[in-house]
Amino acid sequence: MEWNYFNHLMFWAMPVIIGQWFLGGKIFLANWRAIVFPALIVGTYLNLIDTIAVREGIWFFDVKQILGIYIGPLPIEEVLFFYVTAWLVAQSVVLFLPDSWRHPSGQ
């Protein structure tokens, strides 16, 4: 059961990631800075806020549902959730930007 959170995260995220890369892999590679830096900034912010929430007792994690690897008070799955979510949003924004706003993708 300790793999539940991780498995659900992968089941939710991987089809979207694969689909986005199928549609826009060349665009993502040409515009990687517009994906990586916002995802890191937003993911870090969300993890910091989540750290405060956990420390304040607003919520907790069922130890039977997680791997038991922590970064501060957050299980690794929670940390990954926020970075993966931020990454997906950043990729979506880049994918749907008008061509004139993106770096050429070599297509």
Strand, helix or coil at 85?
helix
CB contact at 8 A, 90 and 38: yes
What are the extents of the domains in the chain?
A: 4-101
Tens of pLDDT, residues 37-62: 999 999 999 999 999 999 999 999 99
% of the chain beyond a pLDDT of 70 = 98
User: Sign of dihedral through CA atoms 17, 19, 23, 26?
Assistant: positive
Kindly list the distances between the CA atom of residue 37 and the CA atoms of 41, 50, 73, 84, in Å, as whole numbers in the listed order. 6, 20, 24, 13
Output the six-digit token pair for 34. Answer: 């517009």
d(CA 93, CA 107): 19
pTM listed for this prediction: 0.92
pLDDT at position 106? 54
